[in-house]
Amino acid sequence: MIMHLDFIIVDNNSLNCFIAERMLQNIDSSIGVHTFLHAQEAYEYIKKQPVNPEDHKTVVMLDIHMPLMDGFAFLQEFQKLPEELQNSFAIYIITSSTDINDKIKSNKVTAVKRFMSKPITFNMLNDIINSMMVEA
């Protein structure tokens, strides 16, 4: 089964969003990418999405330290969504935080697949894509 992947980038730094989007498009131009500078906007977008079929996953690359709604508040709200909708998404924490407590806290959320350190690299994105394909 061939899986279709989309990405949602949630980072309050617009340059990080731009770079991640460009890198993903260079890896595979069929990947859909949505970027959000505010976690609340990303959450509202996700809430309105239909449940993906099994061959379609959306990767959420989530920064945790952001103003207004941070990544942890996003995760808390995300866990309140219907389970079928949650299962359409795989969350990867992408952060500059080196606090082990941030890693422990985020890894308690089932939807979080991995805690990764910035900067975003081609290898990191390829690893995410490959791990999603293996899950399919």
30-45: pLDDT as tens digits: 999 999 999 999 999 9
d(CA 133, CA 113): 13
At residue 128, the 3 state secondary structure works out as helix
Is residue 7 situated within a structural domain? Answer: no
> Looking at residue 90, what DSSP letter applies?
E
The CATH number that applies at residue 92 is 3.40.50.2300
Residue 116 lies in a domain: yes
Structural domain contains residue 15: no
In a domain, 20, yes or no: no
Residue with tokens 């899950």: 135
- Number of structural domains the chain divides into: 1
pLDDT in tens, 99-134: 999 999 998 998 899 999 999 999 999 999 999 887
Rounded Cα distance, 74 and 61, in Å? 12
Query: Which pTM does this prediction carry?
Result: 0.94
pLDDT at residue 2, rounded to an integer: 55
* Domain membership of residue 83 as a residue range: 36-45+54-136
